[in-house]
């Protein structure tokens, strides 16, 4: 059961990272309000990434650390999250 939760948490963190990355990329290319759907998806993925990503990564790691590749990807995602949070603090208007 725990492994199953970890599996879904890992998948969710992969999906969230992809959504966030694609959303930010499209927003920078097209403008964040180019389309209401893009605007909503980017806001949702950004909030999800900022608030949920560390929980998902920790959950995935706590429940299953048997595969080194998965552990490495989780470490990468956590590093990316730290980078985004640090950038959010550092960037000013």
The footprint of another protein (CB under 8 A) covers 23-24, 27-28, 31-33, 36, 39-40, 42-43, 46-47, 87-93
Name which of 2 and 34 has its Cβ closer to another protein. Answer: 34
Whole-number minimum distance, CB 42 to another protein, in Å?
A: 6
Name which of 36 and 68 has its Cβ closer to another protein. Answer: 36
Whole-number minimum distance, CB 2 to another protein, in Å?
A: 33
Name which of 28 and 69 has its Cβ closer to another protein. Answer: 28
Name which of 13 and 27 has its Cβ closer to another protein. Answer: 27
Query: Distance (Å, rounded) from C-alpha 85 to C-alpha 52?
Result: 12
Query: Distance (Å, rounded) from C-alpha 26 to C-alpha 31?
Result: 7
Whole-number minimum distance, CB 4 to another protein, in Å?
A: 32
Residue 38: strand, helix, or coil: helix
């Amino acid at each position: 059961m725990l492994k199953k939760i970890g599996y879904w948490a890992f998948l969710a963190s992969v999906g969230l990272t992809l959504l966030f990355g694609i959303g930010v990329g499209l927003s920078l290319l097209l403008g964040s309000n180019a389309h209401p759907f893009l605007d909503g998806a980017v806001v949702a993925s950004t909030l999800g990434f900022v608030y949920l990503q560390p929980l998902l990564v920790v959950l995935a790691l706590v429940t299953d650390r048997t595969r080194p590749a998965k552990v490495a990807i989780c470490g990468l995602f956590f590093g990316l999250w730290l980078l985004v949070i640090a950038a959010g603090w550092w960037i000013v208007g």
